[in-house]
Amino acid sequence: MSKALQDFRQLRKKTEELRYNLTAMMACAGSGHPGGSLSVLEILTTLYYGGVMRYDAEDPGAKWRDRFVMSKGHASPALYVILADLGYFPGEKLKEFDADDSMLPKHCNRLKTPGIEASTGALGQGFSMALGMALAGHMDKKEHRVFCVLGDGECQSGEVWEAAMAAAKYGLDQFKVVIDNNRLQIDGFTDDIMPLGDLKAKWEAFGWHAEVCGGHDLQALRKSFDNMDRVKGRPQVLIADTVKGKGVSFMENEADWHSRKMTKAEGASALREISRAYEEFGGSIDDFILFLTPEELKKLKDA
């Protein structure tokens, strides 16, 4: 069943443990998209651990479950560590991230990974798939909700706005979208590449209820999701203002870390920084690593 933590301090603690695991996973693999995986972490923590989404790791296909689509499919590492932590698959599988024939490919694949609802990576298409799920549920008079995370650069795609119009036309109030508004994409700042302007005004003009909050503020995120649940007759979007590479200082607000591979030294530095941030919670964050032996973790941190 769904796993809800009791307070926001516990949620913050869980977020750092997940940040540690996803950074270690990408460092071990020498692969992944660090910037956009780190920027969505608080959003996903709130959805999966904050009492927002309904799911059952022991029955991933339960008909009553809420659906989640990671439209920005390159942020799969953030989702994989959560699914492993919740028990959708064994934690040691994280060692196989982006390996040949792995159940954890670089982009989300619903045919390979338990808990993944849609195969994504071609930006814009995941949003359309999520729309289809929401429309089907609406037509069948089902009560489950559909959540979808979009990148802000992804919103430069015309397909996104076609789907947005359709969702408003059909009054899909069980359709809930979050924009990871980190203001960067692979080639630089979104404002330099294709300015998006006032995103809130745009979505409202397309018939959506729009919320804006700090994307790393767990309390603000939960409040926004609660507000969205009270809206009837319209789809809802949350524009979450985030920092690309959040939690690793040398990655923050750097477009280069959209898809850059970590060197062993950079991986070790990132893990040490996250460990220091965890000290406020007491204990050792190493106790919460999901897929490495103490010896393997020490070797990774000492590189």
pLDDT 10s digits, 205-255: 999 999 999 999 999 999 999 999 999 999 999 999 999 999 999 999 999
* H helix runs in the chain, sequence order: 8-29, 34-39, 41-49, 76-86, 125-139, 158-169, 190-193, 199-205, 218-229, 264-278, 294-301
Residue 102 DSSP symbol: -
Which element (helix H / strand E) includes 239? strand 236-241
Q: What is the pLDDT of residues 262-279, one digit of tens each?
A: 999 999 999 999 999 999
Does position 98 have pLDDT exceeding 70, yes or no? yes
Q: What is the pLDDT of residues 37-81, one digit of tens each?
A: 999 999 999 999 999 999 999 999 999 999 999 999 999 999 999
Amino acid at 261: K
CA distance 301 to 172: 47
Does position 5 have pLDDT exceeding 90, yes or no? no
pLDDT, position 32: 97
Does position 285 have pLDDT exceeding 80, yes or no? yes
What the chain holds in terms of domains, given with CATH numbers, is 8-302 (3.40.50.970)
pLDDT, position 1: 62
